[in-house]
A and B are shown apart, each in its own frame.
Chain A
Amino acid sequence: MMSEEVKESQEKENRDIIETEELTYADYFCSAVPQSVSPKAGKVIQKFYNWAQANSLWVLGFGTGCGSIEIPPLYTARYDVSRYGIFPRPTPRQASVFIISGYASVKTLKRIIRSYEQMQNPKFVMGLGSCTINGGMYFDSYNTINRLDYYLPVDVYIAGCMPRPEALIAGFNKLKELIKEGKAEGANLYAENFEWYKANQKKVIKDWNMPDYNW
Protein backbone atom coordinates (compact mmCIF):
# COMPACT_ATOMS: atom_id res chain seq x y z
CA MET A 1 0.00 0.00 0.00
CA MET A 2 2.76 2.39 0.97
CA SER A 3 4.49 4.24 -1.83
CA GLU A 4 8.26 4.47 -2.16
CA GLU A 5 8.39 8.13 -1.18
CA VAL A 6 6.50 7.67 2.04
CA LYS A 7 8.62 4.67 2.93
CA GLU A 8 11.85 6.55 2.31
CA SER A 9 10.82 9.55 4.35
CA GLN A 10 9.72 7.31 7.20
CA GLU A 11 13.00 5.42 7.19
CA LYS A 12 14.81 8.72 7.30
CA GLU A 13 12.72 9.79 10.25
CA ASN A 14 13.47 6.57 12.06
CA ARG A 15 17.20 7.01 11.42
CA ASP A 16 17.02 10.56 12.74
CA ILE A 17 15.36 9.37 15.92
CA ILE A 18 18.00 6.66 16.47
CA GLU A 19 20.86 9.06 15.73
CA THR A 20 19.81 11.68 18.27
CA GLU A 21 21.02 10.55 21.65
CA GLU A 22 18.69 12.46 23.90
CA LEU A 23 15.11 11.57 23.13
CA THR A 24 12.55 14.20 23.96
CA TYR A 25 8.90 13.63 24.75
CA ALA A 26 7.97 14.51 21.17
CA ASP A 27 10.10 11.67 19.82
CA TYR A 28 7.84 9.01 21.23
CA PHE A 29 4.96 9.91 18.95
CA CYS A 30 4.51 11.49 15.58
CA SER A 31 2.96 14.89 16.03
CA ALA A 32 2.48 15.51 12.30
CA VAL A 33 -1.12 15.94 11.16
CA PRO A 34 -2.48 12.89 9.28
CA GLN A 35 -2.36 13.06 5.50
CA SER A 36 -5.02 12.01 3.05
CA VAL A 37 -3.75 9.02 1.03
CA SER A 38 -4.84 8.81 -2.60
CA PRO A 39 -4.57 5.49 -4.46
CA LYS A 40 -1.20 5.39 -6.20
CA ALA A 41 -1.64 2.11 -8.04
CA GLY A 42 -3.59 1.52 -11.21
CA LYS A 43 -7.29 0.83 -11.25
CA VAL A 44 -7.01 -2.94 -11.56
CA ILE A 45 -4.36 -3.24 -8.86
CA GLN A 46 -6.35 -0.95 -6.60
CA LYS A 47 -9.34 -3.23 -7.03
CA PHE A 48 -7.18 -6.17 -6.04
CA TYR A 49 -5.94 -4.28 -2.98
CA ASN A 50 -9.51 -3.47 -1.97
CA TRP A 51 -10.55 -7.09 -2.39
CA ALA A 52 -7.62 -8.22 -0.24
CA GLN A 53 -8.40 -5.64 2.44
CA ALA A 54 -12.05 -6.60 2.55
CA ASN A 55 -11.10 -10.21 3.22
CA SER A 56 -8.72 -9.59 6.11
CA LEU A 57 -10.41 -7.42 8.68
CA TRP A 58 -8.66 -7.26 12.03
CA VAL A 59 -10.90 -6.03 14.80
CA LEU A 60 -9.52 -4.08 17.73
CA GLY A 61 -10.41 -5.72 21.03
CA PHE A 62 -11.80 -2.60 22.66
CA GLY A 63 -15.23 -2.80 24.28
CA THR A 64 -16.64 0.62 25.04
CA GLY A 65 -20.20 0.02 26.20
CA CYS A 66 -22.76 -2.68 26.82
CA GLY A 67 -22.40 -3.81 23.19
CA SER A 68 -19.04 -5.33 23.92
CA ILE A 69 -20.94 -8.31 25.35
CA GLU A 70 -22.09 -9.14 21.81
CA ILE A 71 -18.52 -9.47 20.59
CA PRO A 72 -17.39 -12.68 22.41
CA PRO A 73 -20.19 -14.85 20.89
CA LEU A 74 -19.20 -13.40 17.54
CA TYR A 75 -15.73 -14.85 17.77
CA THR A 76 -16.61 -18.13 19.43
CA ALA A 77 -18.14 -21.32 18.13
CA ARG A 78 -21.73 -20.27 17.56
CA TYR A 79 -21.29 -17.30 15.21
CA ASP A 80 -17.63 -18.00 14.43
CA VAL A 81 -16.87 -14.86 12.48
CA SER A 82 -13.42 -16.05 11.43
CA ARG A 83 -15.30 -17.81 8.62
CA TYR A 84 -15.47 -14.38 6.98
CA GLY A 85 -11.82 -13.53 7.53
CA ILE A 86 -12.46 -11.40 10.61
CA PHE A 87 -10.34 -11.83 13.70
CA PRO A 88 -9.61 -9.87 16.88
CA ARG A 89 -6.29 -8.21 17.57
CA PRO A 90 -5.13 -7.04 20.99
CA THR A 91 -3.51 -3.75 20.00
CA PRO A 92 -4.58 -0.81 17.83
CA ARG A 93 -1.35 -0.99 15.87
CA GLN A 94 -2.34 -4.35 14.43
CA ALA A 95 -6.04 -3.69 13.93
CA SER A 96 -7.97 -2.24 11.03
CA VAL A 97 -11.58 -2.23 12.26
CA PHE A 98 -12.68 -0.34 15.34
CA ILE A 99 -16.10 -1.33 16.68
CA ILE A 100 -17.52 1.35 18.96
CA SER A 101 -19.83 -0.99 20.81
CA GLY A 102 -22.56 1.11 22.35
CA TYR A 103 -22.53 4.30 24.39
CA ALA A 104 -19.27 6.17 24.72
CA SER A 105 -18.81 8.33 27.77
CA VAL A 106 -16.57 11.35 27.57
CA LYS A 107 -13.88 9.58 29.55
CA THR A 108 -13.98 6.62 27.16
CA LEU A 109 -14.08 8.88 24.11
CA LYS A 110 -10.67 10.18 25.05
CA ARG A 111 -9.28 6.63 24.97
CA ILE A 112 -11.21 5.85 21.78
CA ILE A 113 -9.60 8.76 19.98
CA ARG A 114 -6.13 7.80 21.14
CA SER A 115 -6.67 4.20 20.03
CA TYR A 116 -8.14 5.24 16.69
CA GLU A 117 -5.21 7.49 15.91
CA GLN A 118 -2.75 4.74 16.76
CA MET A 119 -4.33 2.43 14.20
CA GLN A 120 -2.59 2.28 10.84
CA ASN A 121 -4.21 2.88 7.48
CA PRO A 122 -6.43 1.43 6.15
CA LYS A 123 -8.79 1.69 9.11
CA PHE A 124 -12.53 1.54 9.42
CA VAL A 125 -14.98 2.41 12.18
CA MET A 126 -18.24 0.60 12.89
CA GLY A 127 -20.85 2.18 15.15
CA LEU A 128 -22.72 -0.53 17.03
CA GLY A 129 -26.10 0.19 18.59
CA SER A 130 -28.35 3.22 18.58
CA CYS A 131 -26.20 5.01 21.16
CA THR A 132 -23.58 5.74 18.53
CA ILE A 133 -26.20 7.04 16.12
CA ASN A 134 -28.18 9.50 18.22
CA GLY A 135 -27.36 8.78 21.85
CA GLY A 136 -30.01 6.07 22.21
CA MET A 137 -31.51 5.86 25.66
CA TYR A 138 -28.69 8.08 26.94
CA PHE A 139 -29.62 10.99 24.66
CA ASP A 140 -29.98 13.37 27.62
CA SER A 141 -27.08 12.10 29.70
CA TYR A 142 -24.51 14.59 30.91
CA ASN A 143 -21.67 12.17 30.28
CA THR A 144 -22.27 10.24 27.05
CA ILE A 145 -21.85 11.61 23.55
CA ASN A 146 -24.83 11.65 21.19
CA ARG A 147 -23.40 11.34 17.69
CA LEU A 148 -20.23 9.42 17.09
CA ASP A 149 -19.74 10.81 13.56
CA TYR A 150 -18.86 14.20 15.01
CA TYR A 151 -15.76 12.73 16.64
CA LEU A 152 -14.70 9.86 14.38
CA PRO A 153 -15.49 9.03 10.74
CA VAL A 154 -17.98 6.15 10.88
CA ASP A 155 -18.17 3.79 7.90
CA VAL A 156 -21.03 1.52 8.96
CA TYR A 157 -23.74 1.92 11.56
CA ILE A 158 -25.54 -1.08 13.00
CA ALA A 159 -28.86 -0.02 14.48
CA GLY A 160 -30.48 -1.75 17.43
CA CYS A 161 -30.35 -1.84 21.17
CA MET A 162 -28.50 -4.17 21.31
CA PRO A 163 -27.99 -5.59 17.82
CA ARG A 164 -27.51 -9.33 17.83
CA PRO A 165 -24.35 -10.97 16.48
CA GLU A 166 -26.19 -11.70 13.22
CA ALA A 167 -26.67 -7.96 12.78
CA LEU A 168 -22.97 -7.48 13.38
CA ILE A 169 -22.17 -10.03 10.68
CA ALA A 170 -24.53 -8.17 8.32
CA GLY A 171 -22.66 -4.98 9.22
CA PHE A 172 -19.35 -6.63 8.40
CA ASN A 173 -20.72 -7.75 5.04
CA LYS A 174 -21.83 -4.19 4.33
CA LEU A 175 -18.38 -2.92 5.29
CA LYS A 176 -16.80 -5.44 2.93
CA GLU A 177 -19.00 -4.24 0.09
CA LEU A 178 -17.98 -0.66 0.79
CA ILE A 179 -14.30 -1.54 0.89
CA LYS A 180 -14.54 -3.48 -2.37
CA GLU A 181 -16.21 -0.50 -4.01
CA GLY A 182 -13.51 1.77 -2.58
CA LYS A 183 -16.05 3.81 -0.59
CA ALA A 184 -14.80 3.14 2.94
CA GLU A 185 -12.57 6.20 3.06
CA GLY A 186 -13.00 7.07 6.72
CA ALA A 187 -9.31 7.57 7.43
CA ASN A 188 -9.02 10.04 4.53
CA LEU A 189 -12.14 11.83 5.69
CA TYR A 190 -10.56 12.16 9.11
CA ALA A 191 -7.37 13.57 7.63
CA GLU A 192 -9.21 16.02 5.37
CA ASN A 193 -11.52 17.34 8.10
CA PHE A 194 -8.94 17.05 10.84
CA GLU A 195 -9.54 20.56 12.24
CA TRP A 196 -13.29 20.05 12.46
CA TYR A 197 -12.96 16.69 14.21
CA LYS A 198 -10.40 18.08 16.66
CA ALA A 199 -12.60 21.07 17.45
CA ASN A 200 -15.55 18.77 18.19
CA GLN A 201 -13.40 16.46 20.30
CA LYS A 202 -11.96 19.33 22.30
CA LYS A 203 -15.41 20.79 22.89
CA VAL A 204 -16.35 17.64 24.77
CA ILE A 205 -13.02 16.56 26.28
CA LYS A 206 -12.21 19.53 28.44
CA ASP A 207 -9.00 18.30 30.03
CA TRP A 208 -7.08 17.67 26.84
CA ASN A 209 -3.75 16.55 28.32
CA MET A 210 -2.42 14.65 25.32
CA PRO A 211 -0.87 15.48 21.95
CA ASP A 212 -3.23 16.56 19.17
CA TYR A 213 -2.34 13.60 17.02
CA ASN A 214 -0.23 10.65 18.05
CA TRP A 215 0.57 7.23 16.69
Chain B
Amino acid sequence: MKELINRVESRFTLLNHIEQRPDLLFLSMDAKEVVEVLTYLRDIENYQHLVMISAVDRMEDHMFQLTYLVHNYSDNIDIGIRTNIDRDNPVISSMHHLWPAAQVYQRELHELFGIDFPGSPRQDEPMMLEGWDNIPPMRRDFDTKKYSEETFFPRAGRETYDPRKVMAGKTYPKENEIKHEIKKLVRDQRNK
Protein backbone atom coordinates (compact mmCIF):
# COMPACT_ATOMS: atom_id res chain seq x y z
CA MET B 1 0.00 0.00 0.00
CA LYS B 2 2.73 2.47 0.99
CA GLU B 3 4.70 1.68 -2.16
CA LEU B 4 1.66 2.21 -4.30
CA ILE B 5 1.03 5.62 -2.72
CA ASN B 6 4.67 6.56 -3.32
CA ARG B 7 4.49 5.47 -6.94
CA VAL B 8 1.31 7.49 -7.50
CA GLU B 9 2.76 10.47 -5.66
CA SER B 10 5.91 10.48 -7.79
CA ARG B 11 3.86 10.75 -10.96
CA PHE B 12 0.87 12.90 -9.97
CA THR B 13 0.07 15.66 -7.48
CA LEU B 14 -1.63 13.87 -4.64
CA LEU B 15 -3.69 16.27 -2.51
CA ASN B 16 -4.56 13.83 0.26
CA HIS B 17 -4.80 10.11 0.93
CA ILE B 18 -6.81 8.07 3.43
CA GLU B 19 -6.10 4.41 4.19
CA GLN B 20 -9.58 3.47 5.29
CA ARG B 21 -8.93 -0.27 5.53
CA PRO B 22 -5.99 -2.49 4.58
CA ASP B 23 -7.77 -3.11 1.28
CA LEU B 24 -9.40 0.29 0.73
CA LEU B 25 -7.54 3.46 -0.16
CA PHE B 26 -8.85 6.88 -1.08
CA LEU B 27 -6.72 9.31 -3.08
CA SER B 28 -7.75 12.94 -3.53
CA MET B 29 -6.69 14.42 -6.83
CA ASP B 30 -7.26 17.49 -8.90
CA ALA B 31 -10.07 17.08 -11.44
CA LYS B 32 -7.65 17.57 -14.36
CA GLU B 33 -5.58 14.53 -13.39
CA VAL B 34 -8.36 12.02 -12.78
CA VAL B 35 -8.34 10.42 -16.22
CA GLU B 36 -4.54 10.14 -16.20
CA VAL B 37 -4.52 8.51 -12.77
CA LEU B 38 -7.23 6.08 -13.83
CA THR B 39 -5.32 5.22 -17.00
CA TYR B 40 -2.15 4.64 -14.95
CA LEU B 41 -3.96 2.47 -12.39
CA ARG B 42 -5.71 0.43 -15.07
CA ASP B 43 -2.79 -0.15 -17.45
CA ILE B 44 0.24 -0.28 -15.16
CA GLU B 45 -1.03 -1.11 -11.66
CA ASN B 46 -3.55 -3.70 -12.91
CA TYR B 47 -6.70 -2.10 -11.49
CA GLN B 48 -8.91 -3.56 -14.18
CA HIS B 49 -12.35 -3.27 -12.70
CA LEU B 50 -14.36 -0.06 -12.47
CA VAL B 51 -16.67 -0.61 -9.52
CA MET B 52 -18.60 2.63 -9.66
CA ILE B 53 -18.61 6.37 -10.07
CA SER B 54 -20.47 8.22 -7.38
CA ALA B 55 -21.22 11.86 -6.66
CA VAL B 56 -21.95 13.72 -3.44
CA ASP B 57 -23.60 17.11 -3.52
CA ARG B 58 -21.64 19.28 -1.08
CA MET B 59 -23.87 22.27 -1.42
CA GLU B 60 -22.34 24.25 1.47
CA ASP B 61 -18.88 24.11 -0.16
CA HIS B 62 -20.29 24.80 -3.65
CA MET B 63 -18.87 21.58 -5.08
CA PHE B 64 -19.64 18.07 -6.17
CA GLN B 65 -17.39 15.35 -4.82
CA LEU B 66 -16.86 12.57 -7.35
CA THR B 67 -15.47 9.17 -6.40
CA TYR B 68 -14.16 6.71 -8.98
CA LEU B 69 -13.77 3.30 -7.36
CA VAL B 70 -11.48 0.77 -9.07
CA HIS B 71 -10.59 -2.74 -8.02
CA ASN B 72 -7.53 -4.94 -8.42
CA TYR B 73 -8.39 -8.64 -8.71
CA SER B 74 -4.89 -9.99 -8.00
CA ASP B 75 -4.34 -8.02 -4.76
CA ASN B 76 -8.02 -7.55 -3.82
CA ILE B 77 -7.54 -3.85 -3.21
CA ASP B 78 -10.03 -1.07 -3.93
CA ILE B 79 -8.86 2.44 -4.71
CA GLY B 80 -11.17 5.41 -4.71
CA ILE B 81 -10.10 8.47 -6.64
CA ARG B 82 -11.78 11.50 -5.12
CA THR B 83 -12.07 14.84 -6.78
CA ASN B 84 -14.05 18.04 -6.30
CA ILE B 85 -15.62 20.00 -9.11
CA ASP B 86 -17.35 23.34 -9.11
CA ARG B 87 -21.08 23.07 -8.42
CA ASP B 88 -22.07 26.00 -10.62
CA ASN B 89 -20.11 24.77 -13.61
CA PRO B 90 -19.92 20.96 -13.15
CA VAL B 91 -17.78 19.76 -16.04
CA ILE B 92 -15.25 16.91 -15.89
CA SER B 93 -13.59 15.02 -18.72
CA SER B 94 -15.27 11.76 -19.66
CA MET B 95 -13.51 8.39 -19.19
CA HIS B 96 -15.76 6.13 -21.24
CA HIS B 97 -12.79 5.23 -23.44
CA LEU B 98 -11.18 3.40 -20.49
CA TRP B 99 -14.22 1.39 -19.45
CA PRO B 100 -17.17 1.44 -21.87
CA ALA B 101 -19.47 0.72 -18.93
CA ALA B 102 -18.60 4.12 -17.49
CA GLN B 103 -21.01 5.75 -19.90
CA VAL B 104 -23.93 4.34 -17.89
CA TYR B 105 -22.66 5.94 -14.68
CA GLN B 106 -21.95 9.14 -16.51
CA ARG B 107 -25.41 9.24 -18.05
CA GLU B 108 -26.87 8.67 -14.62
CA LEU B 109 -24.78 11.41 -13.02
CA HIS B 110 -25.67 13.75 -15.84
CA GLU B 111 -29.35 13.08 -15.33
CA LEU B 112 -29.52 13.06 -11.54
CA PHE B 113 -26.88 15.68 -10.68
CA GLY B 114 -26.46 17.65 -13.89
CA ILE B 115 -22.74 16.92 -14.15
CA ASP B 116 -21.49 17.32 -17.70
CA PHE B 117 -19.11 14.76 -19.23
CA PRO B 118 -18.27 16.18 -22.68
CA GLY B 119 -18.25 13.47 -25.34
CA SER B 120 -19.84 10.75 -23.24
CA PRO B 121 -22.08 8.63 -25.51
CA ARG B 122 -25.86 9.12 -25.32
CA GLN B 123 -25.46 11.53 -22.46
CA ASP B 124 -28.29 13.84 -23.45
CA GLU B 125 -30.85 11.07 -23.96
CA PRO B 126 -33.26 10.54 -21.08
CA MET B 127 -32.45 7.44 -19.04
CA MET B 128 -34.90 7.19 -16.16
CA LEU B 129 -36.52 10.61 -16.19
CA GLU B 130 -38.37 10.98 -19.46
CA GLY B 131 -39.41 14.54 -20.09
CA TRP B 132 -37.90 15.95 -16.90
CA ASP B 133 -38.26 19.72 -16.79
CA ASN B 134 -36.96 20.60 -13.33
CA ILE B 135 -33.51 20.89 -11.75
CA PRO B 136 -31.72 17.51 -11.48
CA PRO B 137 -33.50 15.65 -8.67
CA MET B 138 -30.50 14.42 -6.69
CA ARG B 139 -29.22 17.93 -6.08
CA ARG B 140 -29.86 18.85 -2.50
CA ASP B 141 -31.67 22.07 -3.31
CA PHE B 142 -34.36 20.03 -5.07
CA ASP B 143 -37.27 19.49 -2.65
CA THR B 144 -38.46 16.01 -3.59
CA LYS B 145 -41.39 15.93 -1.13
CA LYS B 146 -42.72 19.26 -2.35
CA TYR B 147 -42.38 18.17 -5.97
CA SER B 148 -44.16 14.89 -5.24
CA GLU B 149 -47.02 16.67 -3.47
CA GLU B 150 -47.44 19.12 -6.33
CA THR B 151 -47.30 16.49 -9.07
CA PHE B 152 -48.59 13.13 -7.88
CA PHE B 153 -51.96 13.76 -6.15
CA PRO B 154 -51.07 12.70 -2.58
CA ARG B 155 -53.66 10.79 -0.61
CA ALA B 156 -54.37 12.16 2.85
CA GLY B 157 -53.15 9.80 5.54
CA ARG B 158 -55.21 8.43 8.39
CA GLU B 159 -55.41 10.42 11.59
CA THR B 160 -53.37 8.82 14.33
CA TYR B 161 -54.20 9.01 18.01
CA ASP B 162 -52.07 8.28 21.01
CA PRO B 163 -53.99 5.39 22.61
CA ARG B 164 -52.92 6.43 26.12
CA LYS B 165 -54.40 9.91 25.80
CA VAL B 166 -57.58 8.72 24.09
CA MET B 167 -58.26 6.02 26.67
CA ALA B 168 -57.52 8.35 29.57
CA GLY B 169 -60.03 10.82 28.19
CA LYS B 170 -62.62 8.07 27.76
CA THR B 171 -62.25 6.22 31.04
CA TYR B 172 -61.44 9.03 33.51
CA PRO B 173 -62.72 12.22 31.87
CA LYS B 174 -62.87 14.36 35.04
CA GLU B 175 -59.51 13.28 36.41
CA ASN B 176 -57.99 13.75 32.99
CA GLU B 177 -59.31 17.29 32.77
CA ILE B 178 -57.93 18.18 36.20
CA LYS B 179 -54.60 16.61 35.30
CA HIS B 180 -54.35 18.73 32.17
CA GLU B 181 -55.21 21.89 34.10
CA ILE B 182 -52.53 21.19 36.69
CA LYS B 183 -50.03 20.51 33.92
CA LYS B 184 -50.97 23.78 32.24
CA LEU B 185 -50.54 25.68 35.52
CA VAL B 186 -47.12 24.16 36.07
CA ARG B 187 -46.09 25.01 32.52
CA ASP B 188 -47.25 28.60 32.89
CA GLN B 189 -45.40 28.95 36.20
CA ARG B 190 -42.23 27.62 34.64
CA ASN B 191 -42.49 29.97 31.67
CA LYS B 192 -42.86 32.97 33.94
- A-side residues, CB < 8 A to B, are 105-107, 110, 133-135, 139-147, 150, 200, 203-208
Chain B residues with a Cβ closer than 8 Å to the other chain, count: 20
| Contact A142 B131, beta carbon cutoff 8 Å | no
Which one of A107, A135, A147, A203 contacts B130 once the chains associate, using CB atoms below 8 Å?
Answer: A107
B147 proximity list for chain A (CB < 8 A): 142
Looking at the assembled complex, report how far the CB atom of B48 sits from the nearest CB atom of chain A, in whole angstroms. Answer: 33
A207 proximity list for chain B (CB < 8 A): 126, 130-131
B145 within 8 A of A: yes
Q: A143-B137, A204-B151 are in contact. Are A106 and B144 (CB under 8 A)?
A: no
When chains A and B are docked, how far (Å) is the Cα of A203 from the Cα of B153?
A: 10
Which one of A107, A110, A145, A206 contacts B152 once the chains associate, using CB atoms below 8 Å?
Answer: A145
A205 proximity list for chain B (CB < 8 A): 130-131
B147, B152, B155: most-surrounded residue (chain A CB, <10 A): B152
A134 proximity list for chain B (CB < 8 A): 154-155, 157
| Contact B144 A142, beta carbon cutoff 8 Å | yes
| Contact A146 B155, beta carbon cutoff 8 Å | yes
What total count of A-B pairs have CB within 8 Å?
57
| Contact B155 A142, beta carbon cutoff 8 Å | no
Chain A to chain B: the 4 pairs with minimum beta-carbon distance, closest first: A207-B131, A206-B131, A140-B145, A134-B155
Could you give 24 example pairs across A and B, Cβ below 8 Å? A107-B128, A107-B129, A107-B130, A135-B148, A139-B154, A140-B145, A140-B149, A141-B144, A141-B148, A142-B142, A142-B147, A142-B148, A143-B137, A144-B152, A145-B152, A146-B148, A146-B154, A147-B154, A203-B151, A205-B131, A206-B130, A206-B131, A207-B126, A208-B131
B129 proximity list for chain A (CB < 8 A): 106-107, 143
Residue of B nearest to A208 (CB): B131
When chains A and B are docked, how far (Å) is the Cα of A166 from the Cα of B142?
A: 40
A135 proximity list for chain B (CB < 8 A): 148, 152, 154-155
A106, A133, A142, A200: most-surrounded residue (chain B CB, <10 A): A142
**Given A107-B130, A133-B155, A146-B155; 16 other pairs, CB 8 A cutoff:** A105-B128, A107-B128, A110-B130, A135-B148, A140-B144, A141-B148, A146-B148, A147-B152, A147-B153, A147-B154, A147-B155, A204-B151, A204-B152, A206-B131, A206-B133, A207-B126
